[in-house]
Structure 1
């Protein structure tokens, strides 16, 4: 549904299936940013300008252009990366996919949602990790935002915005086109949830593959120790201390009140709470 909702986790899980390829091959952290920043609108503008200035009566509609362009684009990626497997899995942590089926009408979407409180915890923590290339002024701004509580506040608003967009998307999409899964079920009931996913896709999966997925390594966690953060994209085994579900339970009263005021309604709409009495 958004960043820190578990897209890296599900990408790693799917990579264990022998019939699936990620793009680029072997890179489960890659993102399919086709709809990022609503860039697809620029393609439509290009096509409309092309028709307008071509001095010809083109019969191709915008809807046909979307379908043909997306088909070509996927074929281009498959050819460029020499993909031989029958299925590909692409992921995008951003929610700007409301027009997905206009471009990819015959594809199926998995929507992963996560308890907004844990998502905000992860977002806030990740916001204070610094890349080697960052300058001192940027590091200072990030540190100030984190310790002042602004990153937490910002994360609450991101969750609220993305939850509303998720609800809007699923209300207008037909049920057979998408499947909603919860990060918590994927983490704690991996076998059952993975079977749901592959049943939805109509793809067989054997018990050995499911077992491998149940022992999936961690990649990209915001709770990677700071000393190891630069290597967070290297897979590592789960430890007993790795508990990504329920971290919000350590929040103080101020954080709970802040989240409830900003995004408490959306948490209820997604079915994580019945009311704001938690």
Structure 2
């Protein structure tokens, strides 16, 4: 990270973030359950959804792809869904849409707003601004193409309990990937010399927390709902056609309009095995004959496998992965 970027990051930090960033830089645990699943009451959820709907107006059903964390396959799922002719991916050139991930910043803005006239707290909730912003932003993005369904993605599920309230009626796809492959890919992809880099323990911890949050939306989970589905990256790789059909059914798109013959010709984007770096890594590259992004962790030493199991083995089991 450059000196100017480091200075900007330090300037943007709020007091409550300083402790977290310090822990992250020191290699300690810096995330907890509340970061992924803040408590939202039913009444609060209904209120936020109503605010978002009024700000959004009548638009086509939006599609959101959220990943358990970076390197979890959101690009692959996005590229697949975006091939449907009724989908407008990355509207407004928003290649990532971390609005949910910025929920804490929206809450901080609300606190600043209330500080100038505290009585406004009688009519404003912690996430009201976030819900109204989400709705208005979706309306603006939809106006760029009123015929298609807008598709946005983000490789994070922090503040996931807010998603169906600030994005009401949107079709949400939650992407899971084996945490060991996520850690392996992350360590190979991102620089270890950045202040914001994460070590093995931090990555495993983040994956566990994100997976536990996602699995509450499973069919038998406490947050299960018709607008949210979970896909496992490995399943999509193994049976791409079958899983694309499930996704299309979930979001309400017609199968017969999908270009099925293009799936096997799809290039690779963002592979940790790519020989290019930085922004060029995310450009399409031809898929090699031996390309296999599944179970790369199998080459780990026994001690490394055991370490991950101690840190996140329970989440592997919860998500249906072998321990």
TM-score by length of 1: 0.78
Query: Structure 1: where are the runs of 5+ without partners?
Result: 130-137
Aligned CA RMSD, in angstroms, stands at 3.0
The residue aligned with 2:135 is 71
Whether 1:191 aligns to 2:241 is yes
Supply the distance in 1 between the matched residues of 2:294 and 2:133 (Cα, whole angstroms). Answer: 40
What is the CA-CA distance between 1:204 and the residue it aligns to?
Answer: 0.4
Q: Does the C-alpha gap of structure 1 residues 208 and 94 become closer, same or farther in structure 2, counting only changes over 3 Å?
A: closer
User: Alignment length, in residue pairs?
Assistant: 251
What is the CA-CA distance between 1:197 and the residue it aligns to?
Answer: 0.4
SS at structure 1 position matched to 2:200:
helix
Whether 1:239 aligns to 2:239 is no
Supply the distance in 2 between the matched residues of 1:100 and 1:51 (Cα, whole angstroms). Answer: 29
Contact 1:15 1:21 survives alignment (8 Å): yes
Whether 1:107 aligns to 2:166 is no
The residue aligned with 2:84 is 17
Which of these residues, 86, 111, 119, is aligned with residue 45 of structure 1? 111
Query: Structure 2: where are the runs of 5+ without partners?
Result: 1-67
Supply the distance in 2 between the matched residues of 1:176 and 1:266 (Cα, whole angstroms). Answer: 23
Task: Note the 1:1-278 alignment, pairs <5 A.
Answer: 1-24=68-91, 30-37=95-102, 38-42=104-108, 44-45=110-111, 52=118, 67-79=131-143, 82-96=144-158, 97-128=160-191, 138=193, 151-168=199-216, 171-206=221-256, 209-225=259-275, 228-230=276-278, 231-273=280-322, 276=323
What is the CA-CA distance between 1:213 and the residue it aligns to?
Answer: 2.6
Supply the distance in 1 between the matched residues of 2:252 and 2:312 (Cα, whole angstroms). Answer: 36
Contact 1:2 1:93 survives alignment (8 Å): yes
Supply the distance in 2 between the matched residues of 1:83 and 1:207 (Cα, whole angstroms). Answer: 18
CA deviations on 1:213-233 (whole Å, 9 max, x unpaired) are 3332111111212xx224211
CA deviations on 1:22-68 (whole Å, 9 max, x unpaired) are 224577xx11111224333235436655874569x85x777876654
Supply the distance in 1 between the matched residues of 2:234 and 2:299 (Cα, whole angstroms). Answer: 17
Contact 1:123 1:152 survives alignment (8 Å): no
Q: Does the C-alpha gap of structure 1 residues 64 and 223 become closer, same or farther in structure 2, counting only changes over 3 Å?
A: same
CA deviations on 1:97-135 (whole Å, 9 max, x unpaired) are 221122122112111111111111111111248xxxxxx
TM-score by length of 2: 0.68
SS at structure 2 position matched to 1:176:
coil
The residue aligned with 2:6 is none
Contact 1:23 1:89 survives alignment (8 Å): yes
